[in-house]
Every structure is written in structure tokens, then in C-alpha cells.
């Protein structure tokens, strides 16, 4: 069965510094997608970034990048130049093969300190 | 703003009651997904509809049901409510359903349900 692990329940980072949020996954499917979502205290789930299992390059979206290491089954989110507004819960999710649905990790709460 | 709308934003009701949560997907999206987020269970997939038909079922209780209408909006019905049903309920939509792993799901703002 597919599973997502996020081993950091909470993280602190100083404003303007970079931070890495860990995500490891378990699947036997050869094709899958990996996603990161942000959930601020207001509750909405905001899509940040996507990485396909066959993508050769790591995905980037503005200040977000995904450090994809397929052999290690890890898909860490890197946020550069942290801002106070980055304080939120961050969820890693996996979309397995055709016809199956997202599996979410337990989340990491990021706090950005001024 | 993801383009997915959910109503109501908040709902307070009593045990044993029945409620209906409504979701309108992004324009053009054919797939709708329902999720439950509670403190102890995390984010759990409930059910998926594609163009009016049920496509996949997750951890959905028999007391819960859903449907997707011809205009593609969806409703999640929760009946015989229990205290443990208190949670944040999300609807998400995706552009198409190849069902492939590249499909991004865009989430609505959620409905916060409190059962007293």
C-alpha cells in the first residue's frame, strides 16, 4: 500500500533563510506523482508544486523547489528566502497509478521567526 | 483562490442530524473529490466522482453519501451525525480524468462541521 511519511511534526526557520521539509514515500508503482500543499491557519489547502516520477529535473515554482531523489523515495520541499507568510502546515501527497487517489502525509508545521 | 467553491463555510448541528455540504468545481473540471480532515485521522479521502459517476471510494462511512449533478456540482450528505464527525470537509477538483498521476487536485476552502 502507498504511504507518505513526514518525520518533522514541527520546524522553525528564521525569516529570509532556506528550509527543507522532508517527505518519503512508499509505492511499488512505476508511475506516480508527488505534490506539496500548504495549509495556513485559515484552513484552505493551497497547491504548491508537482513532481512526476519520470521527470528528469527537479520541479521549481518560484521560491519552492522539490528535491526529488527517486532511488531514496524522497521528495523534499525546499523553500528559499522564507517569509512570515510561509508559516503554515505543509502536506506531502502522492498520486499513485491510474485510477487511484491521493495519499497524504501527516504534515509538517512550519513556523517562520522574524 | 483555487476556483473551487464550497458552502457553507461553517456548520453547527446536533448529534443524530443530517447535513448537506455543497461543492462547485473549477470551471471545466470533471472530477470532484471529497476529503475529511480531523485532528486524529489527518486528511482522509472519502469519494471521487467523474462526470456524474462514482469513480473511487475511500474511507467513507455508510452514513455518508455523495453525488455529482449534471452541472458538475457535488453534494456530500452526512446523516445520523456523531460527535466524531466533527471535522473540516474539503472538496477538490481536477481538470480531467485520465486518472493519471500527473493530475493536480485543487481544493476548495472547506466546510468546518461541528457536531454538538
> In which band, very low, low, confident or very high, does the pLDDT at B93 lie, cut at 50, 70 and 90?
very high
Task: With beta carbons less than 8 A apart as the criterion, state whether B13 and B5 touch.
Answer: no
Q: Mind listing the pLDDT tens digit for each residue in A24-51?
A: 999 988 889 999 999 999 999 999 999 9
CA distance A91 to chain B (A): 9
Query: Nearest chain A Cα to B105, which residue?
Result: A47
Nearest by CB to A98, which of B2, B42, B100? B100
How many contacts (CB atoms, under 8 Å) link A and B? 65
The answer on pLDDT for A99 being more than 70 is: no
- List, in order, residues 6 or more apart from B72 with CB less than 8 Å away: B24, B25, B29, B30, B32, B51, B52
Which contacts qualify for B55-58: CB closer than 8 Å, 24 or more apart? B55/A99, B55/B31, B55/B97, B55/B99, B56/A99, B56/A100, B56/A101, B58/A101
Cβ of residue A95 closer than 8 Å to a chain B Cβ: yes
Q: Is B60 on the interface with A (CB under 8 A)?
A: no
Amino acid at each position: 500500500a502507498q504511504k507518505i511519511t513526514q518525520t518533522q511534526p514541527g520546524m522553525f526557520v528564521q525569516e529570509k533563510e532556506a528550509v527543507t521539509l522532508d517527505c518519503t514515500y512508499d509505492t511499488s508503482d512505476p508511475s506516480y506523482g508527488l505534490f506539496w500543499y500548504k495549509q495556513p491557519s485559515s484552513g484552505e489547502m493551497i497547491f504548491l508544486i508537482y513532481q512526476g516520477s519520470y521527470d528528469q529535473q527537479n520541479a521549481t515554482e518560484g521560491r519552492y523547489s522539490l528535491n526529488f531523489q527517486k532511488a531514496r523515495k524522497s521528495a523534499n520541499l525546499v523553500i528559499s528566502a522564507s517569509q512570515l507568510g510561509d508559516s503554515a502546515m505543509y502536506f506531502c501527497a502522492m498520486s499513485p497509478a491510474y485510477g487511484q487517489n491521493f495519499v497524504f502525509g501527516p504534515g509538517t508545521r512550519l513556523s517562520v521567526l522574524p | 483562490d483555487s476556483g473551487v467553491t464550497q458552502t457553507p463555510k461553517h456548520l453547527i448541528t446536533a448529534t443524530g442530524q443530517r447535513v448537506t455540504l455543497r461543492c462547485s468545481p473549477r470551471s471545466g473540471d470533471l472530477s470532484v473529490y471529497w476529503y475529511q480532515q480531523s485532528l486524529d485521522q489527518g486528511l482522509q479521502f472519502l469519494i471521487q466522482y467523474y462526470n456524474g459517476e462514482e469513480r473511487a471510494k475511500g474511507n467513507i462511512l455508510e452514513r455518508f453519501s455523495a453525488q455529482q449533478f449534471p452541472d458538475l456540482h457535488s453534494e456530500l450528505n452526512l446523516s445520523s451525525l456523531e460527535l466524531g464527525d466533527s471535522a473540516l470537509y474539503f472538496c477538490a477538483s481536477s481538470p480531467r480524468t485520465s486518472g493519471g498521476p500527473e493530475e493536480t487536485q485543487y481544493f476548495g476552502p472547506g466546510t468546518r462541521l461541528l457536531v454538538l
